[in-house]
Chains A and B, each alone.
Chain A
Amino acid sequence: MKAEHVLSVRLYATVFGSLLALTLLTTGVAFIDLGGNWNALAAVAIAIGKALLVVLYFMHARYSSRLTWIFAAAGFLWLTILIGGTIDDVLTREGIGF
C-alpha cells in the first residue's frame, strides 16, 4: 500500500558495524600526527562518511523519492553556504582582531 522499502536486518547490522568501526578508526587516527591540518581533515572526512551512512540507510534517504532528496539536501546545501561563505571571509581578510 505504501511505497516504502522495508530494509533487511542484515543491511542495518552492516551499517551499524561500519559506524562502530569508523568510530574506532577516527579515535585511532587522532593519535597519529599526520602533520599540518590533515588530522582535522581526516576527522571531518570520517564524520561526513558516517553521517552519509546514517542519512542513506538509517534515514532511508537512498530509498526515498527524488522530491524528498531535495528536501533532505536543502539544509545541508545552506549549511555549506553558511560555513563556506564565512570561512572564506575570515581566511582572506588581513589582520582580523580576535
Chain B
Amino acid sequence: MSEASAVHAHQFDDISQQHEASWNGMWVFLATEVMFFGGMFTGYTIYRYAYAQAFASASNHLDIVLGTINTAVLICSSFTMALSVRSAQLGLRKPIMIFLLLTMILGAVFLGIKFTEYYQKFDEHLVPGYDFSYEPSLARPAAIFFSFYFALTGVHALHMIIGIGLLTWLMVKAWRDRFSREYNTPVELVGLYWHFVDIIWIFLFPLLYLLGRHLG
C-alpha cells in the first residue's frame, strides 16, 4: 500500500522533486492566505492609526487572561503538530495518531475558549449591529474595532475548524496505515497549514488584545 504511494508520478524526475513540488505548491496556497488576511490587517492598521484612542479603549474590553491562555494553547497545538509530522517522517504510526489527536483536542480547546469570549461580548453589548452600546464619544470607532475583532477572529476560527477537519482526514489515513517513511507528504502539508494558522493568531493576539493595556 505505502510502497505504491512512494512511487513518484510520471511528470517528476524522482521522488525528491515531487516532494519539493508539493511543498512549493503548499507555500503558494499559503501566500494567497497571507494576502487574504493581509487585506484585513491593512484595514485594521489604517483605522488603528485614525482612531488610536478608541482602539486602545475598546481593546481593553477583551479578556486578556483568556487571550493569553488561548495563545499558549495554540502554540502547544503547533508543538504537537510538529511532533506528529516528525513521527510521520520516521514512519511511526501510533505516535502520528497520538499527536494528531492531541493537536485536535488543543484546537477544540482554543475554539471553546473563543466561543466563551464571543458569548461574553454578546452579554456586554459589544457586538456591532446587535444592541451595541459603548461610551458615546467613542462608540462609532469602537464599533469599527469590534467589527475588525469579529471578522479577523471569526475567519481565523473558520480556518481552525477546517484544520480540525483536515486532521480528522489524516487520522483516518493513519488509522489505515497509509503513511510511511517514504510517503508522508499529506501530514507535512497539513502541518504547514496548521502552523500558518498559528502565525495568524500570533499577530492577532497583540494587535487585538494588547493595544491599550499600558494606558490602564
Contact = CB atoms under 8 A, between A and B. Distances in A.
A98 B72 CA distance: 36
Contact of B90 (A6, A33, A58, A87): A6
B191 to A, nearest CB: 8
Interface string A68-94: 100110111011001100110011000
B24 interface: yes
Interface size class of A (residues with CB under 8 A): 35 or more
Interface size class of B (residues with CB under 8 A): 35 or more
Majority-rule SS of B interface residues: helix
Interface string A36-67: 00011001101100110011011100001101
Contacts, number: 152
Interface of A: 1-4, 6-7, 9, 12-13, 16, 19-20, 23-24, 26-27, 30-34, 39-40, 43-44, 46-47, 50-51, 54-55, 57-59, 64-65, 67-68, 71-72, 74-76, 78-79, 82-83, 86-87, 90-91, 96, 98
B112 interface: no
Nearest to B196: A59
B110 to A, nearest CB: 14
Contacts of A72: 27, 30
Majority-rule SS of A interface residues: helix
Given A2-B182, A54-B199, A68-B24, A74 B42 contact: no
A4 B89 contact: yes
Contacts of A76: 34
A71 B45 contact: no
A50 B78 contact: no
3 tightest A-B contacts by CB? A75-B31, A75-B34, A43-B206
Interface of B: 6, 15-16, 19-20, 23-24, 27-28, 30-35, 38-39, 41-42, 45-47, 49-51, 64, 68, 71-72, 75-76, 78-79, 81-83, 86, 89-90, 181-182, 191-192, 195-196, 198-199, 202-203, 205-207, 210-211, 213-215
Given A6-B86, A82-B35, A67 B182 contact: no
Contacts of A19: 75, 78
12 contacts: A1-B16, A1-B181, A12-B82, A12-B83, A23-B71, A30-B214, A40-B211, A43-B207, A47-B206, A57-B82, A64-B23, A83-B45
